Amino acid sequence: MGLTPLRVLAIIWVTLASALLSLPAGAQQAGTVNCGNGNYCPAGHACLLGGQCGREIEHPPGATRMSTGNWCDPGFHEGTVNRGRCVPDGYTECGVGACRPGTTCSADGQCIGGPPATGPMCGGVQCTADRACSSNNRCYDPARYNDCGNGSICTKSAACEQPQGCVYVAPERIRQTPIR
C-alpha cells in the first residue's frame, strides 16, 4: 500500500497533535508572553524582574514627544543639537552628549569642571560624589535612574524587564504565572 494524499494528511495531523500535546500547558495558551524563566505573563504585558508582570504602555505620563516620534521621559527633553536624543532637564548639550549642571562644554565637545570625583570607584574610574556605581561598572545618577542589577540602567519612569532591558508599564503589577 502506497501513501495516499489522505494518509499523508493523517500523518501530518497526528505529528502536529503530538507536538502540541507535548508542549507545557502555558506554552499552548494563545496570547501569552513567555518570560523565559518558567513563567508567563498575559498578552500586552511585559515580564519584569522579581516575578512580576506589568501592562505595557507607549510612554509614561508626563513624557514629551520628540521630532522622531519617540518619547522623552519626564525630566528630560529632546536635544536641539542631537535631535532624537533625550537630555536631562538642566543639562547643557555638548558634542555627542550633555554636560550636567556645574560643568561647561569645551571647544572639543567635552564636559569640563564640576564636582570632584570623590565617590565610589567604578570600572577603573572614580565617580563624582552624587553618583553610584552600577552593576555594569558605570557611574550613574541614582536620582534619575535605577540599576536593575542585570546590566540595565532604566530611567525612573521605566521598569526593569526580564531578563534585561527597560520597558514602560502601568503601575499595577500582577504575578507571573508558572508554565505547567
**Exposure of 148 by Cβ count < 10 A (0-12 exposed, 13-18 middle, 19+ buried)?**
buried
Write down the pLDDT at residue 26.
39
Q: Evaluate whether 39 touches 51 at the Cβ level (below 8 Å).
A: yes
pLDDT of the residue at 29: 57
Q: Which residues pair with 74 in a beta bridge?
A: none
Q: pLDDT (tens digit, 0 to 9) for every residue of the chain, 180 residues total?
A: 454 444 434 333 433 333 333 334 434 356 899 999 999 999 999 999 999 999 999 999 999 999 999 999 999 999 998 899 999 999 999 887 899 888 989 989 888 888 889 999 999 999 999 999 999 999 999 999 999 999 999 999 999 999 999 999 999 999 999 998
CA distance 60 to 177: 25
Q: What is the pTM of this model?
A: 0.75
CB 92 within 8 A of CB 105: yes
* pLDDT for res 180: 86
Cis peptide before 163 (omega within 30 of 0): yes
Question: Cα-atom radius of gyration of the chain, to the nearest Å?
Answer: 24
pLDDT at 15: 38
| Predicted local confidence at residue 30, as pLDDT | 67
Write the pLDDT tens digit of every residue in 69-121.
Answer: 999 999 999 999 889 999 999 999 988 789 988 898 998 988 888 888 999 99
